[in-house]
Amino acid sequence: MKKYFFLFLLSVALNTISFSQEENKYVGTIKVQKKGHLIKTQYDNINFRLVGIDQYGNVLDTAVIEFKISVTIRGIFHSEKNTGPILSANMQQLLDRADDSTKIFFDNIKAKDRDGTVIDMPKFQYMQGFRNSEQE
């Protein structure tokens, strides 16, 4: 009887060990993208548009719903209000003619957060020849 009981315990122990090894081969990492609230907007000079940035650094392409752009090119001041994130064709042509030291001012920026609420974003300026923009 002791012999059978010992064999029974041994088979249970082996099954438990083999089951735990099979379970571990499916263990992996799940990557979850954190989504937060909008904290700033940036100018994308490649696509001539404004994008929203949330608190984790995620880019929201369609966050900006309205903004005003102001720029002085060759002594002439230009200002235009846009709806949507993309600059108008007229303003894109003006910026193409500007030199690298031109400052572009963005203000009256309204953006839509992930939950649908409209937020007034802080104004900022962008210098065409440099990579970074300055928040005011």
pLDDT in tens, 34-44: 677 888 999 98
pLDDT exceeds 70 at position 132: no
CA distance 111 to 3: 76
pLDDT in tens, 55-90: 888 888 888 999 999 999 888 899 999 999 999 999
CA distance 79 to 64: 18
**Domain locations along the chain:** 38-130
CA distance 22 to 129: 58
pLDDT above 90 covers what percent of the chain? Answer: 32
User: Alpha-carbon torsion 28, 32, 33, 34, what sign?
Assistant: negative
Least confident stretch, 15-19, 52-56, 69-73: 15-19
Of residues 22 and 58, more confidence is placed in: 58
Q: Across the beta sheet with 49-54, what order do the strands follow? A: 38-44, 49-54, 59-60
